[in-house]
Structure 1
Amino acid sequence: MTNINFSDNGDTPFEKLIGHNDKIRSAWNQLEEIFWNSTNLDKNLLEQVRRAMAFENGCEYCMVKAGKPEFDNSQLKISTAIGFAELFSKDHQSISQEHFKMLKEFFTEKEISELCTFISFINASQKLGKIFNLTENYQQNAVLKIKDFF
């Protein structure tokens, strides 16, 4: 059971939880669409970051959608982005200039801006899912179960 009732607005359980104000739901969906389709960042990189953050944020709904990140440690750009995203999720206040120096080895400033805003958006989405108690039972596109991870 979620911590608030679903609204009548939205197609997914997450959308129905934020859809109590349909303008917020609509703008949220538009921003998500922009991240996935109108940035300079590779969609696979974004997906691997999203997956890693799901586990840091404890969002079951997001974890079971596609599972843990799938990348090779030799994929330094993805590895760097995931490490940064995990740190952001754990302790954003500890992020320093040194972390940005590492990002600059693989990303342009435009890409860093897009990556950081994407990470912030996903962090907010997943933390909302967690606090609203959006569990694996609501994920219509689940490929795994929570028990498969632990």
Structure 2
Amino acid sequence: MTTIEFANNGNTPFEKLIGHNVQILEKWNSLEENFFENTGLDSNLMEQVRRTLAFGNGCEYCMVKGGRPEFSDSDLKTSVAVSFAELFCKDHRSILKAHFDMFREFFSDKEISELCAFISFINASQKLGKIFNLTEEYQKNPVVRMEQLVLLKE
């Protein structure tokens, strides 16, 4: 059971949790759409970052949506983005100028800006999912179950 009741507004369980204020829901959804439709970032890179953050934030709803991150270590651009996302999730205060110097080896300033904004947005979304107790049972299209994720970890 979620920690607050679902609103009548929204299409997904997550949207129904923030749908108590229609204006916030609309702006939230608009921002999410912009991240996926108006970015120069690779969609697979963004998905691997989203998955990484899901596990760091403990959002079951988000974890079962795609499972664990899957990418090749030889994909350095995705590896750098995922590593940065992990660091951001664990302790954003430890991010230094040197991290951005490393970023510039793989990303333009525009891409860095988009990636950091995306990481911040997804991080906030998943933390909301976690505190509202949005568990796997609410995910309509899971690719994996939590019990499988626990077994994979062991």
Does 2:131 correspond to 1:131?
Answer: yes
- Per the alignment, residue 31 of structure 1 pairs with 31
Deviation at 1:143, TM superposition (A): 1.0
Q: What is the identity, as a one-letter code, of the residue corresponding to 2:121?
A: F
How large is the Cα RMSD of the aligned pairs? 0.4
- Per the alignment, residue 9 of structure 1 pairs with 9
CA deviations over 1:78-113 (Å, ceiling 9, x no partner) = 000000001000000000011111111100000000
- In 1, Cα distance between the equivalents of 2:84 and 2:116? 9
- Per the alignment, residue 147 of structure 2 pairs with 147
- Per the alignment, residue 63 of structure 1 pairs with 63
- Per the alignment, residue 108 of structure 1 pairs with 108
Residue ranges of structure 2 left out of the alignment (5+ in a row):
none
- In 1, Cα distance between the equivalents of 2:83 and 2:111? 16
- Per the alignment, residue 52 of structure 2 pairs with 52
TM-score, structure 1 as length reference:
0.99
Runs of 4+ in 1 over 3 A off after TM superposition: none
- In 2, Cα distance between the equivalents of 1:54 and 1:104? 25
Q: What is the identity, as a one-letter code, of the residue corresponding to 1:71?
A: F
Deviation at 1:9, TM superposition (A): 0.2
Deviation at 1:30, TM superposition (A): 0.4
Q: What is the identity, as a one-letter code, of the residue corresponding to 2:149?
A: F
- Per the alignment, residue 19 of structure 2 pairs with 19
- In 2, Cα distance between the equivalents of 1:79 and 1:120? 18
Equivalenced residues, count: 150
- Per the alignment, residue 98 of structure 1 pairs with 98
CA deviations over 1:26-70 (Å, ceiling 9, x no partner) = 100000000001011011110010001100000000000010111
Deviation at 1:149, TM superposition (A): 1.1
TM-score, structure 2 as length reference:
0.97
- In 1, Cα distance between the equivalents of 2:10 and 2:36? 19
Residue ranges of structure 1 left out of the alignment (5+ in a row):
none
- In 1, Cα distance between the equivalents of 2:129 and 2:102? 30
